[in-house]
Structure 1
Amino acid sequence: MRKIWGRFTFARRREAAYQGRKALAGVGLNSARRSAMNISLFLEMAAESAPDRVGVVCDDKRWTYEELLEAARGACELIEQSGAQYVALLDESSEASVIALFGAALAGVPYCPLNYRLADVDLSALLNRIAPALVIGDDERVGRIAAGQGHHILARDRFTQDAPNAGSVAQARSYDPGHGVAVQLFTSGTTAAPKAAILRHANLLGYILGTVDFASADHDDAALVVVPPYHIAGISAIMSSIYANRRIVVLPAFDPKAWLNLVAVEKVTNAFVVPTMLSRIIDEMSGGVMADLSSLRAIAYGGGKMPMEVIQKALAIFPNTDFTNAYGLTETSSTIALLGPEDHRLAQASDDPNIRARLASLGKPLPTVEIEIRNEAGRPVGRGVMGEIYVRGEQVSGEYKEKSALEPDGWFPTRDAGFMDADGYLFLCGRADDVIVRGGENISPGEIEDVLLAHPALLDACAVAVPSIEWGEAVGIAVVVRKGHVPPEPAELKDLIRTRLRSSRVPDEVLYLEHLPFNEMGKLLRREVKKLFEN
């Protein structure tokens, strides 16, 4: 059955959200009914419950929820007229990313934001894999690198101007019920061609309906979104804020001064940052940059490992702000574990080393997912034992266009290594492929890096596996020295690790670098560091 545009009653939308929550609990709706819901429901509900509330602010332009819905409906018309099989966004974050996401959902084609930082040859290859697409954004670049692929190209300004005026004049308009793919995101492709990760409407609905209360935001609540649109964190931030009726304040490109200014001007209450962003914000504030941050009630962070020193500084600089560590993956529709504000406060204030260690954890699994730690044989291990993190739940896709990685019983192997402590807190040890195996002993790079970062002269550190004739693999470390500090001798760093950890963690090799390689989401490119030890 296809749903119809028009004025659904608020009660029907609220009932749909309720049914979605029942689906998460495994009652009331079978899988066929669950899959017949479209993520456009979030914007429709917001537009009916608060039509005049500002939904998006970008570059001083404000869009109400009613205007966003009208633009999304118009975008649906543009998509169908173009004959596109995908909607691609090649641009920074803006109102266009919101309109394109929901317009694609209404039209029943996947939304596929692309990494505009890719080299031309790599980007051309991705565009060819989704041809023909309606490509929004850098029209000159797409025309230059993807000529002949059959795309329909619109510059961002043209798209946001045309979409609000392209809606159907018919009294009723059918749209996609939500059986298919809502979002397709290409993986980073560090060691191979990027895979096309697929998120269906049911996965994204499972995440939002299981974690966000509808219309729960106060009238003045505002969420600052600065993560790239091609990352799952940016997509989930849009959906969760709209479902909560929260104003989205978009910062197209991160700059710490601009971030601080926007918090002050727009009275931002909630923000999501990656570790490198938070570090740069703290540096600006420590350097004397002032801003009125009294409105900022909550900061969530994720996307990469948060150095202990950075989060400790943040808790001191923002004493009245709640911090949450959110761990998730593209294939899980975003967050699957949270370390909440109270956990941060207790860990920061505690003298108990076990409780204090939680500050470096990912927190506990969401109630809507299951998490297991498994060994190389695929069997669950006990508390405190490192293995691979597996997850299962309604929001977990684990699906790629090439193939599905889900096991028959729904478990998804994340390829992240970690363990759970005695109290059920999840700790990340890095990618499973990054674990150092020395003489049969599994060594987490993170534990070595945490020790190194306790040294006052070190700004950053990375531990990787290096070849060893005796042990198969040994430890190599790359460190970045703070400006104005004397580089510590390798022997000093080895002694520091030896006194804090077992001798097997002492590095065989030490490199001094000007900076470590990170991607735009703050994830350490550990494989790039490993290459440096091969030279």
Structure 2
Amino acid sequence: MGIGMVLDMASAATPGRIATGSRQGGTTYRQLDELASRGAGLIGELGARHLVFVGVNGPVLPVLMFSTARAGIPLAPLNYRLPSHQLLELIDRLGDPVVVADAEYVDKLAGCRHRILSTDEFLRLAGETEPVAGDRSEDEGTAVVLFTSGTTSAPKGVLLRHRNLLSYLINTVEFGSAAEEQAALVSTPPYHIAGLGAVLSNVYSGRRMVYLPDFTPQGWLDVVRREGVTSAMVVPTMLARIVDHLDGAPAECPTLESLAYGGARMPQPVLERALAAFGNTGFVNAYGLTETSSTIAVLGPEDHREAFANPELRGRLSSTGRIVPGVEAQIRSEDGTRVLPEGETGLLWVRGAQVSGEYMGNGSVLDEDGWFPTRDRARIEDGYLYIGGRADDTIIRGGENIAPAEIEDVLAHHPHVREVAVIGTPDDEWGERICAVIVPSVDDHDDPEEIRTWCRARLRGSRTPDDVVFADDLPRTPTGKLVRRDLVEQITAGLAG
């Protein structure tokens, strides 16, 4: 049995409860169950071995997710923002795919060699198809294929099996724990593990899902207030835009009990402003990777409150919290051969039933004992996990390894810095130079030497940026991850010019 059983259980326990949409006129769990069974029947008639989705997050995503589960084939949501040729390349990498696309993206797929249905067409045809009885999925079967964002290399297809996703769910979510009035706002994209994890965790807990396909700060606040949203998840760039929009005013979202964030590094000044604006809301930092079926470490509401109230614990806000049940973590040396003692920085390895570590066409990268190399630099102190950025981002200057995050965390506190990214640029003498790329928070700040002086007073001299470049924005994925390879190319070309 696969993830289809999640909907089976929810439909049996609370058939009349709203699963998706508004409190009046939304889709109930019984209706979602029937839609998924009919969708599975349609998929079987189409002869698909993969179902591709190109569209925004919305009520169709749970239908597609549970339809493919019951049909026993994987769902592959793609980034609808990609250029046409990249979308077609990814589709061609999948065996016997059928594509479901929102109407506005159908033309973008012109030239696709495979069957394309618009979202509305899929739902209409599914409604005319006999429902499938039972579930054809197996624990070892692939439930989802997710292509990584490719911030440092070409996208890889991560295979998440039913057992991986169920393990994550059973160890972190209590079945039927949501009260009927609770609602979750889902604004993360469907091609991100957080978007798919939201479907599973909210259906398993019995929580109503409402959607915000196109994020704006005011639009997000309006939906929270209008729909009585009790929980939501945002990426750091979303939260930064919300607190900028509030500009010191209280958020006035009385129903919002929980606000989770993740997907990229959260600048501590942004988090502190958000904690002040959402004074009665519990904050949760959820850290995970595509390959780990979502969350593997959590910094909970009480941790946030204690750290925000106590200056001696304030540094804990930069941690990702404690490892979740069912997952083990080790910090290893650079070559992966030695486990480092607590407090030392190295590379994070994780192990557990929810960890996949398996790639389409490349097999598994787990070691012989089942450990997955995350490629994140990290340390563990007092049971809390601190992430120091990707190992691939490390700057090697004069033979010394320098983590960009160490410098970024300092510069983020400068009063005139809105966003910052630290990268390495080529240097004939030192191997690499440290370059700080800054999006200023004021219009007239253009003094690189002032930034360097300010940084030198707070860091070792070898960590002071050699170059400071001001920019209007930083290249990021829709989930807020910095696309370092694009930034390095832009800045290197600019410095050379």
Deviation at 1:317, TM superposition (A): 0.5
- Structure 2 matches for 1:136-151, cutoff 5 A? 136-138=100-102, 141-142=105-106, 145=109, 147=111, 149=113, 151=114
Determine helix, strand or coil for the equivalent of 1:388: strand
Letter in structure 2 aligned against 1:135: V
Quick one: which of 485, 492, 495 aligns to 1:527? 485
Deviation at 1:491, TM superposition (A): 1.9
Quick one: which of 418, 421, 436 aligns to 2:395? 436
TM-score by length of 2: 0.94
What's the counterpart of residue 33 of structure 1?
A: none
Q: Distance in 2 between the 1:520 and 1:143 partners?
A: 22
Deviation at 1:493, TM superposition (A): 1.3
Matched, 1:269 2:230: yes
What's the counterpart of residue 7 of structure 1?
A: none
Determine helix, strand or coil for the equivalent of 1:409: coil
Letter in structure 2 aligned against 1:154: L
Quick one: which of 56, 61, 66 aligns to 1:97? 61
Q: Distance in 1 between the 2:85 and 2:2 partners?
A: 34
What's the counterpart of residue 412 of structure 2?
A: 453
1:324-357 superposed Cα distances (whole Å, 9 cap, x missing partner) = 00000000000001111111111111121xx211
- Structure 2 matches for 1:281-430, cutoff 5 A? 281-286=242-247, 292-352=252-312, 355-378=313-336, 379-403=338-362, 404-421=364-381, 423-430=382-389
1:82-113 superposed Cα distances (whole Å, 9 cap, x missing partner) = 00111111110111111000100001100001
Letter in structure 1 aligned against 2:40: C
My pick for the range that moved more, 214-223 or 374-383, is 374-383
The answer for unaligned runs of 5 or more in structure 2 is none
Q: Distance in 2 between the 1:460 and 1:333 partners?
A: 29
Letter in structure 2 aligned against 1:92: V
Instruction: Please say if residues 279 and 310 of structure 1, whose CA atoms lie closer than 8 Å, have aligned partners that are also in contact.
Output: yes
Q: Distance in 2 between the 1:221 and 1:530 partners?
A: 44
Instruction: Please say if residues 84 and 108 of structure 2, whose CA atoms lie closer than 8 Å, have aligned partners that are also in contact.
Output: no
Q: Distance in 2 between the 1:180 and 1:367 partners?
A: 24
Deviation at 1:146, TM superposition (A): 5.3
Q: Distance in 1 between the 2:168 and 2:453 partners?
A: 46
Instruction: Please say if residues 140 and 162 of structure 2, whose CA atoms lie closer than 8 Å, have aligned partners that are also in contact.
Output: yes
- Structure 2 matches for 1:10-159, cutoff 5 A? 37-57=1-21, 62-138=26-102, 141-142=105-106, 145=109, 147=111, 149=113, 151-159=114-122
Determine helix, strand or coil for the equivalent of 2:26: strand
Q: Quickly say closer, same or farther: Cα 1:207–1:252, change in 2 above 3 A.
A: same
Deviation at 1:456, TM superposition (A): 1.1
1:105-162 superposed Cα distances (whole Å, 9 cap, x missing partner) = 001100001110000111111111125222112467556645462x232211222233
Quick one: which of 163, 167, 182 aligns to 2:130? 167
Instruction: Please say if residues 274 and 302 of structure 1, whose CA atoms lie closer than 8 Å, have aligned partners that are also in contact.
Output: yes
What's the counterpart of residue 250 of structure 1?
A: 211
Letter in structure 1 aligned against 2:274: A
Please provide the CA RMSD for this pair. 1.9
My pick for the range that moved more, 185-194 or 272-281, is 185-194
Q: Distance in 2 between the 1:71 and 1:373 partners?
A: 45
Q: Distance in 1 between the 2:87 and 2:30 partners?
A: 34
Instruction: Please say if residues 108 and 178 of structure 1, whose CA atoms lie closer than 8 Å, have aligned partners that are also in contact.
Output: no
The answer for unaligned runs of 5 or more in structure 1 is 1-36
What's the counterpart of residue 220 of structure 1?
A: 181
Deviation at 1:419, TM superposition (A): 1.5
Q: Distance in 1 between the 2:118 and 2:24 partners?
A: 19
Deviation at 1:284, TM superposition (A): 2.1
What's the counterpart of residue 23 of structure 1?
A: none
Q: Distance in 2 between the 1:78 and 1:101 partners?
A: 14
What's the counterpart of residue 18 of structure 1?
A: none
Instruction: Please say if residues 55 and 105 of structure 2, whose CA atoms lie closer than 8 Å, have aligned partners that are also in contact.
Output: no
Instruction: Please say if residues 264 and 291 of structure 1, whose CA atoms lie closer than 8 Å, have aligned partners that are also in contact.
Output: no
Determine helix, strand or coil for the equivalent of 2:311: coil
What is the percent sequence identity of the aligned residues? 46
Matched, 1:260 2:224: no
Q: Quickly say closer, same or farther: Cα 1:45–1:533, change in 2 above 3 A.
A: same
Q: Distance in 2 between the 1:161 and 1:104 partners?
A: 17
